[in-house]
Amino acid sequence: MTQKHILGLLSVAIGLMTLNGCYYERSGATGWAYNFESNGGFERTAYFEQETGPGLIFVEGGTFTMGQVDDDLTYAWDNIPRRTTISSFYMDETEVTNHFYLEYVNWLQRIYGSSYPEIVERALPDTAAWRNKLAYNEPIVNYYLRHPSYRDYPVVGVSWLQATDFCKWRSDRVNEGILVREGLLLHNPDAQIDEEHFTTETYLSGQYQGERLREGLPSYGLNSEFRDVKVEDGVLLPNYRLPTEAEWEYAALGLIGNSLGELVAERKTYPWNGHFVRNGDSRKGGYGSINANFVKGNGDYMGVAGALDDFGDITVNVYQYAPNDYGLYNMAGNVSEWVMDVYRPLSIQDNNEFRPFRGNVYETKRLDAEGNPVDKYDYVVYDIDGVKTFLQEYETQGNTVQALTPEDTDLIGNLNQKVSDAKERLAAQRFEEAQTLMQDAMDLIVDSDALAAADLRKGFSNNIDALPGEMQKRKESLEENLNRTNYRVADNVDYLDGDRNSSFDFAAQSKDEDVMQDKRVYNFGGSTLISNRSRVYKGGGWDDRAYYLIPGTRRYMDERQSSASIGFRCAMDRLGTPVPFAGQ
């Protein structure tokens, strides 16, 4: 065979190899080429590393001793030290500021303000949280949230529920911004209103179209030339959320700066080194200065004139003090912070050693008969039982403290009738009809001239479960989990500590399941304030003593309540390797 014939055969072979997709990346399982239409178009997208979301700092995970590291001054014995492992995650560099929160309120006003003003009202912080019966705090009440002097101060007066809603909103805005940045969506804030606005879930479910700059990403499938971004592309970020209690405590300690190899060489009491609240490092500037914003002693909130030691009578700028070894600011002092966990005094005995958390309620999307997600909500979803309870309490208190006017009584009577009818529809599995009746009740309030109308509107707004434009979800059922061994029921908030299997039933007189859950074991409202709505908050605030600056201390409050000394910061899951690739 001549050299010419050999070269000819090689060229034919190369041509055949090209036609058969030889130069495509191939599956190690089947040998079939990826991203090749003739093979069915299964894709393997280029991916390198998870993008760090706006405002976040990477926190490398590991094992640490979680719990009390100092004397238990309250004798609560609710946080005995134990070894725990935390996965790597991301956390906000600072607390969420007033300015960030007002950006959220402004978005709600633009989207829902015309049709559903109660949604905007539901998000507003409680500025009256600053009031004290024996102190003059009205200037703070009137100006703290909105005046530019406090723009970069931590937002307060925000309940756990409001903080969680902010995290959800932030997730959607960041992912929408990524799609705009990548040239897939047109930046069109004025075109979004009511249910027709971007959320990550509706986009991934094909229920948000928006205005497109281009048709989408190239598709190698047989039926389409372009497609939307999918989870498999790694373009969209995981959701922002509140950190778990274990994550917050781990990040606050910042032990990465105190380790040598696999040994934690020095334990910390506070987020900084040393067992005292002043800067003890003579080699660095600021020797002897206070390391956080808190109360030093009786009546001492900021020190002596001419030598103020923490530069703040109340809260301070979120960048006021030096960060800890992870680069996180104010993990002690300034404001305490909400975390995800439901409070139980004996969590130490129950929680997992790996990524411990109490508060799981497993949900899934509502599907139609063909297995596709049902249409997103185009109406407000109310907690009907919550509204009913609110009306009963309001009517009782109104007649006890200050007699209601005839117009008030008439309006409350009409609302009770609407809500009762809605409960009947709900019991008959006529969900949408029930929510239509609740919207009719809200319309009665809006059209009323009764003095109580404003209070009643706020009560309704505080019992909203879902907004127009969100995907419809439900709790997982026992029936669909029959063959599982790791869990059966959806709601595991009181698992091993408050459920029927671990308690006496203190609510035999009540047929209301929610009331029964609140009463079990802890007898909520009788002998304790612990319930399934009790949420943990961590760290010390501007009005706390040094004891509460210790990351291991834990306190709790009802998720519907707020305080002038409690704020929050967001976290995000780290996907893939626990340590980013070099240079990222």
Identify the residue whose tokens are 């595991």: 492
Q: Which of 51-65, 173-187, 248-262 has the lowest mean pLDDT?
A: 248-262
Tell me the CATH number for domain 45-174+240-359+537-584. Answer: 3.90.1580.10
What one-letter code names the amino acid at 26?
A: R
Distance CA 47, CA 234 (A): 7
pLDDT at site 110: 96
Identify the residue whose tokens are 């019966």: 133
What one-letter code names the amino acid at 270?
A: Y
pLDDT at site 69: 76
Indicate whether 251 pLDDT > 90. yes
Mean pLDDT of 496-525: 62
Query: Structure tokens of 64?
Result: 């640490």
pLDDT at site 293: 94
Mean pLDDT of 109-130: 96
Indicate whether 4 pLDDT > 50. no
Distance CA 155, CA 456 (A): 26
Distance CA 574, CA 489 (A): 27
Q: In angstroms, what CA-CA distances link 480 with 33, 364, 375, 423, 487?
A: 37, 11, 22, 26, 11
Mean pLDDT of 329-350: 93
pLDDT at site 157: 98
Indicate whether 287 pLDDT > 80. no
Which strands form 571-573's sheet, in the order they lie side by side?
A: 56-59, 89-92, 571-573, 240-241
Indicate whether 584 pLDDT > 60. no
Contact 135, 188 (CB under 8 A): no
Work out the percent of the chain whose per-residue pLDDT is above 70. 89
Q: Which of 6-10, 129-133, 571-575 has the lowest mean pLDDT?
A: 6-10
Across 73-87, 181-195, 305-319, 330-344, the highest mean pLDDT is recorded for: 330-344
Sign of CA dihedral 480, 482, 483, 485: positive
pLDDT at site 281: 65
The domain segmentation of the chain, as residue ranges, is 3-39, 45-174+240-359+537-584, 381-466
pLDDT at site 212: 86
Distance CA 273, CA 279 (A): 9
* 24 C-beta neighbours (distance < 10 Å), count: 16
Which residues 6+ apart lie within 8 Å of 282 measured at CB?
none
Distance CA 532, CA 519 (A): 10
Which carries the bigger pLDDT value, residue 522 or residue 186?
186
Beta bridge partners of 473: 365
Mean pLDDT of 335-355: 92
Identify the residue whose tokens are 């919550």: 386
Contact 531, 503 (CB under 8 A): no
Cα–Cα nearest to 216, from 207, 206, 227: 227
Contact 357, 349 (CB under 8 A): no
Q: Which of 124-128, 403-407, 542-546 has the lowest mean pLDDT?
A: 403-407
Q: If phi over 0 gives left and psi between -120 and 50 gives alpha, with beta otherwise, what is residue 111?
A: alpha
Kindly write down the DSSP assignment for every residue of 263-316, as one continuous string.
EE-S--SSSSSSSSSB---TTSTTTT-B-S-S--BTTBSSEETTEESSS-SS--
pLDDT at site 426: 94
Beta bridge partners of 97: 154
pLDDT at site 583: 47
Instruction: State pLDDT tens for residues 218-242.
Output: 888 877 888 999 999 999 999 999 9
Which carries the bigger pLDDT value, residue 86 or residue 261?
86
pLDDT at site 536: 97
* 247 C-beta neighbours (distance < 10 Å), count: 24
Kindly write down the DSSP assignment for every residue of 119-172, as one continuous string.
HHHHHS--GGGG-BTTB--HHHHHHTTTSGGGTTSBP-S--HHHHHHHHHHHHH
**Mean pLDDT over the full length of the chain:** 89
